[in-house]
Amino acid sequence: MDINLTINGQPVSVKAGSTILEAAEKLDIRIPTLCHLKMDCFHVDHRSASCRVCVVEVKGRPNLAPACSTPVAEGMEVKTNSLRAINARRTMLDLLLSDHPKDCLICPKNLHCQLQSLAQELGLHQLLFKGEQSTYNRDLSSNAIARDLDKCIMCRRCETACNTIQTVGVLSAVGRGFQAVVAPAGLKPLAETECVFCGQCVQACPVGALSEIDCKYPVWRALNDPTKTVVVQTAPAVRVAIGECFGMEPGSISTGKLVHALQMLGFDKVFDTDWAADLTIMEETTELIERIKKNEKLPILTSCCPGWVKFLEHQFPDLIYMPSSAKSPQQMFGAIAKSYYAQKIGVEPKDMVVVSVMPCLSKKYEASREEFSHDGVRDVDIVISTRELADMIREAGIRFDQLEDRPYDSPLGESTGAAVIFGATGGVLEAALRTAADWITGEDVKAIDFEAVRGLEGIKEATVKVGDLELRAAVCSGLGNARKLLERIRRGEAHYHAIEIMACPGGCLNGGGQPYHGGDETILAKRLEALYRADRDLPIRKSHENPSIQKIYEEFLGEPGSHAAHKLLHTTYTPRKN
């Protein structure tokens, strides 16, 4: 049923249950808002109506109405640009600014801050209200996410991301009135909570209240230390997003420019996490086939995503036996770089610095886990986000969009199409299926595009014929979806051989460290398509056919699942108290 109304004298028809804001969007009438976020990629429409910046005048009603949460009604007459509405918006914005720090020049969200943009849009150049400002200690406890509650505007978008989408349940409104903020209960530091550091709260936050822990300066110091050999790895999803930071279209594949920029920054070697993704497939697929043969510990759960792994450790400790014991590609790369590669070039592991460029903030946390440190030497030393690398490139005065393409260095830079799709939801499972199909059948299977596990849907299921085996698989992205699927498994309602889980909706391409997308699913869809385009364009599309991977097993590891492989490339998981 459609509802007919007028906005600023223009007639419009929208579905029953639509809001005034949605009706205005249909007419291309902009109503400013801070708290509202249509999170298309999560299929969630956040409507807290807490900022009151989107108020409009509705004929016959004495009070102004928040457009983001007021449902339309038949015959409704709305004015979005009346003097009363405009003055009310300016007053609300003035009140928000009165209790907000004025350190815009050094804020991590500078030029990406929606409060800043709205103040400019509404022409606020002086403050009417001045007085007391709330003050809190910054929370830098987690190695991943920085929390500055002085900047919290109580929009509650992070709360929706944490509780509704991810179902982690760490963030909620704390305090009342002037002292109200969104934080963990009791204002606990994030490191003392069940936070998985996925960073979806950072993506949702419109201001600088949430950001990543800044690790750019440790990288600069390492690059300028002549006693260190500094190598860098870049994750699959970075190459299809970093161009956005330099005005390039979403979905631009910037692999060659990325390598060139990193070389100009001074890294001794520029390698590819995709190489380690191929290595991961060798170990994970070996484990999958062994479990299927023994019919035990099924379904196997992928273990590439540290946010998902920490979620499992907190929320589903009874299923701790299910994940693959294989480390993530990031950690496998670090372990190999500081053993196999360090030996090749005659460098002591303690004198090598491994830097990761990741789309994910939880990777910062992962690198700091005790399991990934040996004799005081960490597998991965420093993790920076896609955004942080873009900052470094700008700081160095590099014109990224004008760089010529260059190839990765060898031997840890050679990879396959199977590896690059790790950046998309479903990509890890598809890469494993390509190798499993060959190994189980003993043939070179040509049909390697497993379309059923692709796409941005939160839960996908597929049955794949592999020889005589009908392999039942599921793909899950977003921890709220993971919870639904795992609870079905707990109850015995779902049965699979393999499940891929990514913490971030859409996978790593939508990681908390990627360029801000404002909930726009079209941007994510373009990044997704670019990853599969990169896969199609590579000459080798199966991980086990990577000559560099074959060589490391011949020279160093023996065979997949060997003692040497388990020592370097596998780990264990720990049930954690809630």
Residues taking part in catalysis: 284, 287, 304, 324, 363, 366, 371, 508
Whole-angstrom distance, CA of residue 148 vs CA of residue 134: 11
Whole-angstrom distance, CA of residue 13 vs CA of residue 5: 7
Structure tokens at 252: 């631009």
Whole-angstrom distance, CA of residue 403 vs CA of residue 564: 40
Element spanning 570, H or E: none
Exposure string for 278-290, b = 16+ CB within 10 A, e = fewer: bbbbbbbbbbbbe
Cis, bond preceding 505 (omega within 30 deg of 0): no
Tokens 């991980």 — which residue?
543
Q: Indicate the pairing of strand 469-477 with strand 65-66.
A: unpaired
* Spatial CA neighbour of 469 closest among 517, 433, 416, 500: 433
Q: How far is CA 389 from CA 220, 242, 259, 355, in A?
A: 11, 8, 12, 11
Beta bridge partners of 466: 469
Whole-angstrom distance, CA of residue 193 vs CA of residue 390: 30
Estimate to the nearest angstrom the gap between the alpha carbon of 509 and the chain centroid: 6
Instruction: Give strand ranges (E) for 224-342.
Output: 229-234, 269-272, 300-301
Whole-angstrom distance, CA of residue 488 vs CA of residue 528: 28
Instruction: Give strand ranges (E) for 359-483.
Output: 373-374, 377-378, 382-385, 459-466, 469-477
Structure tokens at 128: 């009417």
Exposure string for 257-271, b = 16+ CB within 10 A, e = fewer: bbbbbbbebebbbbb
